[in-house]
């Protein structure tokens, strides 16, 4: 009887919410400022009070002002064979709250949630194909979802992304007092947010959050938007029980339930890999051979199966099929290293150019990628196992400088991946330019790139010629037309160097001024990336990665001409880095130009943004310096 009343109460709540009238007349003007959409009302209810069961009720009313806001409405709901969606419904209203459309579950398309590269993925999606005919409009969506996984509890994000504002958002989580969720809140100070705690439930409410405006060189969105995370000490993942009171406990659970009994390698492969390393005596030398073997044998394909997509496929299957996802290829590489006696750690992290840490003080299922760590005393060498061309020990800006979880024989542990400092992210260029009497030039360009600057380029060797042409056209946009006479690109994976050796014909290298010519000294290394002007900046200045450029350009002018007065040398040093240029007359018709630029990583007060922008403007201006070359009288 109690369950019947609860069911009636839910349906009554569903009808009341769907029929509640929303109008833009009730939205404060401040919430519309800088917004593509406004979250008028959101009610999220999560129930994990029964072990192994999660119920999720979602209701949201959103006003959309333009086409850019269409993606802000919820018209896609994921599910799989472990979950089910009930009672999904959507209403569309005009700005005054008059109903335009009403959609039920039968109106949604039920399709596979294929990602385009997964060989198998059991996720499906209910998709509402709604195309608005007028703006603004209001969409109300309501659905209920159930599954038997409590390892992932939807976090509370009262503001979803840039250019979205929120009038009201409420999040309620119900739980068993004997398995109370751990909570981590971030960035809630300064907002109208209230928290109500009861013995068996928590309620979070936010009111009137203005839209966040994107700003160049600010910290990532997740570091400034309000958020609340929830995790259970005792959880289930696709019906498999787990424990995550701390990282050590969670790591042991991963080892015993996700990584155990999946590392068997066929005898033929064991013999082959042992033969390959038979003459090596160090762990690094053996690991290099194993890594190269893995890269040549397998390729990356996503496989989203196995305890919620978290359990890697068998190493023996990877060996047989020669493919796998990040989990499978990491586990396979680890299994090969086990064969030759080299210890390694299966590692979970958040991968991506925006650095995101595994939350050190908040144990539980986190991350979106797996890599491998090879310990050497206190140091760890990191291997990206999904790449067939990444050098040994190079993880680039996809996995650098962030907290990650390693699974050791003793349990889980949070460690930090490699931080590439600016000295390591070095590009050195050497250019010889020979100018002819018509102002054209033949140039020889050589560049050696290291660190993250290497990571930006090493895949060039696999690009099609038409794509290579686009890359250099963008790189040398200051040059008004040129032809590449020869191009040699070398990816030195052993030393982690990328070498560019290019011969270039530039018909209009100089500008004619009567019988004289005007020479732009530095056409090859101009830094024109000036940050956007922002009047009232709200966020800190964040330079997430530093780099260093060292450039030498030798310019030879034709006989019968002479180089005019040289510009003064320049040296600028501040908290953001260093910029120096030097001019030297080698002979009557030869000039040496040297340029040295350092940009340092760091987070600075928002007031410093103007100074940084000024620094970059000076660099851009000085990089365009020209000298006059006169004809001898």
pLDDT tens digits along 572-615: 999 999 999 999 999 888 999 999 999 999 999 999 999 999 99
Q: Provide the pLDDT for residue 322.
A: 92
Phi-psi region of 355 (alpha: psi -120 to 50; beta: other; left: phi over 0): beta
Confidence class for position 81, pLDDT limits 50, 70, 90: confident
Q: Provide the pLDDT for residue 135.
A: 95
| In this structure, CATH architecture of domain 18-232 | Sandwich (2.60)
Q: How far apart are CA 401 and CA 396, in angstroms?
A: 10
DSSP code of residue 364: S
Q: How far apart are CA 22 and CA 107, in angstroms?
A: 23
Asked whether the beta carbons of 389 and 396 are under 8 A apart, the reply is no
Same topology for domains 18-232 and 426-631, yes or no?
Answer: no
% the chain with pLDDT above 90? 76
> Which residues, in sequence order, are CB contacts of 27 under 8 Å at separation 6+?
38, 40, 63, 167
Q: Provide the pLDDT for residue 11.
A: 41
3-state helix, strand, coil in the chain (%, to 5): 20, 40, 40
At 359, list the tokens. 């939350």
Residue 159: alpha-carbon gap to chain centroid: 20
Q: How far apart are CA 457 and CA 493, in angstroms?
A: 12
Q: Provide the pLDDT for residue 528.
A: 87
To the question of pTM greater than 0.75 for the whole model, the response is: yes
pLDDT in tens, 369-412: 999 999 998 899 999 999 999 999 999 999 999 999 999 999 99
Q: Where are the domains of the chain?
A: 18-232, 244-416, 426-631
Q: Provide the pLDDT for residue 538.
A: 94
Q: Is the dihedral of CA 337, 339, 341, 343 positive or negative?
A: positive
Q: Which option is the CATH number for 426-631: 3.30.70.2190, 1.10.10.10, 3.40.50.150, 2.60.120.1130?
A: 2.60.120.1130
At 387, list the tokens. 């790449």
> Helices (DSSP H) in 326-475: which residue ranges?
326-339, 396-399, 451-455, 465-475
pLDDT in tens, 249-291: 999 999 998 899 999 999 999 999 999 999 999 999 999 999 9
Q: Provide the pLDDT for residue 305.
A: 47
Tally of CB atoms within 10 A around 259: 20
When pLDDT is averaged across residues 340-351 and rounded to a whole number, the result is: 96
pLDDT, averaged across the chain: 91
Q: How far apart are CA 468 and CA 473, in angstroms?
A: 9
Tally of CB atoms within 10 A around 98: 10
Q: Which option is the CATH number for 244-416: 3.10.620.30, 3.40.980.10, 1.10.3720.10, 2.60.40.650?
A: 3.10.620.30
Asked whether the beta carbons of 626 and 519 are under 8 A apart, the reply is yes
Q: How far apart are CA 627 and CA 164, in angstroms?
A: 50
> Which residues, in sequence order, are CB contacts of 192 under 8 Å at separation 6+?
206, 207, 208, 209
Instruction: List C-alpha distances in Å: 110 to 132, 147, 149, 623.
Output: 21, 18, 22, 56
Q: Is the peptide bond before 136 cis (omega within 30 degrees of 0)?
A: yes
Asked whether the beta carbons of 109 and 117 are under 8 A apart, the reply is no
Q: Is the pLDDT at 16 greater than 70, yes or no?
A: no
Q: How far apart are CA 370 and CA 402, in angstroms?
A: 13
% the chain with pLDDT above 70? 94
> Helices (DSSP H) in 92-165: which residue ranges?
none
Q: Is the pLDDT at 549 greater than 70, yes or no?
A: yes
Asked whether the beta carbons of 74 and 51 are under 8 A apart, the reply is no
pLDDT in tens, 170-213: 999 999 999 999 999 999 999 999 999 999 999 999 999 999 99
Give one DSSP letter per residue of 499-525, joined into a string.
EEEEEEEETT-EEEETTEEEEES-SSS
Q: Is the pLDDT at 472 greater than 80, yes or no?
A: yes
DSSP code of residue 462: G
Tell how strand 201-209 and strand 164-175 pair up. Answer: antiparallel
């Amino acid at each position: 009887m109690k369950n019947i009343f609860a069911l009636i109460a839910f349906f009554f709540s569903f009808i009341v919410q769907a029929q509640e009238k929303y109008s833009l007349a009730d939205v404060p003007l401040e919430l519309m400022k800088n917004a593509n959409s406004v979250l008028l009302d959101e009610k999220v209810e999560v129930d994990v009070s029964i072990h192994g069961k999660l119920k999720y009720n979602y209701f949201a009313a959103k006003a959309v002002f333009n086409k850019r806001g269409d993606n802000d409405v919820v018209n896609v709901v994921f599910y799989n064979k472990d979950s089910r969606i009930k009672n999904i419904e959507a209403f569309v209203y005009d700005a005054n709250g008059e109903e335009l459309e009403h959609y039920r579950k039968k109106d949604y398309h039920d399709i596979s949630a294929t990602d385009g590269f997964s060989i198998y993925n059991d996720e499906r999606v209910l998709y509402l194909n709604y195309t608005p005919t007028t703006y603004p409009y209001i969409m109300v969506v309501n659905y209920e979802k159930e599954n038997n996984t409590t390892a992932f509890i939807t976090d509370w994000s009262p503001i979803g992304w840039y250019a979205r504002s929120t009038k009201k958002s409420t999040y309620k989580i119900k739980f068993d007092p004997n398995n109370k969720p751990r909570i981590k809140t971030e960035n809630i100070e300064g907002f109208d947010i209230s928290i109500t705690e009861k013995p068996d439930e928590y309620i979070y409410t936010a009111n009137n959050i203005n839209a966040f405006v994107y700003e160049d060189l600010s910290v990532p969105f997740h570091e400034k938007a309000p958020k609340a995370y929830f995790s259970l000490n005792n959880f289930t993942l696709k019906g498999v029980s787990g424990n995550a009171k701390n990282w050590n406990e969670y790591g042991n659970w991963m080892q015993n339930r996700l990584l155990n009994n999946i590392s068997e390698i066929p005898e033929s492969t064991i013999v082959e890999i042992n033969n390959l390393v038979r003459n090596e005596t160090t762990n690094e030398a053996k690991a290099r051979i194993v890594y190269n073997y893995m890269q040549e044998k397998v390729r990356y394909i996503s496989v989203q199966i196995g305890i919620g997509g978290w359990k890697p496929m068998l190493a023996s299957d990877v060996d047989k099929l020669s493919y796998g996802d990040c989990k499978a290829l990491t586990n396979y590489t680890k299994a090969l290293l086990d064969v030759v006696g080299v210890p390694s750690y299966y590692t979970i992290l958040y991968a991506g150019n925006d650095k995101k840490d595994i939350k050190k003080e908040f144990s539980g299922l986190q991350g979106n990628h797996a890599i491998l760590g090879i310990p050497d005393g206190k140091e760890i060498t990191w291997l990206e196992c999904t790449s067939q061309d990444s050098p040994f020990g190079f993880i680039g800006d996809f996995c650098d400088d962030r907290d990650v979880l390693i699974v050791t024989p003793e349990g889980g542990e949070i460690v930090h991946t490699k931080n590439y400092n600016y000295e390591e992210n070095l590009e050195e260029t050497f250019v010889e330019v020979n100018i002819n009497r018509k102002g054209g030039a033949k140039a020889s360009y050589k560049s050696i790139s290291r660190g993250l600057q290497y990571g930006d380029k090493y895949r060039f060797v696999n690009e099609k010629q038409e794509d290579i042409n686009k890359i250099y056209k963008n790189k040398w946009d200051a040059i008004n037309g040129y032809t590449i006479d020869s191009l040699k690109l070398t990816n030195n994976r052993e030393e982690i160097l990328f070498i560019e050796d290019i011969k270039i014909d530039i018909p209009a290298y100089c500008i004619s001024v009567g019988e004289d010519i005007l020479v732009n000294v530095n056409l090859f290394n101009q830094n024109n990336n000036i940050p956007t002007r922002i009047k009232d900046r709200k966020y800190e200045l964040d330079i997430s990665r530093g780099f260093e450029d060292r450039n030498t350009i030798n310019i030879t002018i034709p006989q019968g001409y002479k180089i005019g007065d040289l510009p003064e040398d320049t040296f600028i040093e501040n908290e953001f880095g260093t910029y120096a240029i030097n001019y030297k007359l080698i002979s009557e018709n030869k000039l040496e130009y040297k340029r040295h630029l350092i940009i340092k990583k760091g987070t600075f007060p928002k007031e410093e943004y103007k100074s940084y922008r000024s620094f970059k403007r000076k660099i851009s201006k000085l990089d365009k310096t020209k000298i006059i070359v006169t004809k001898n009288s």
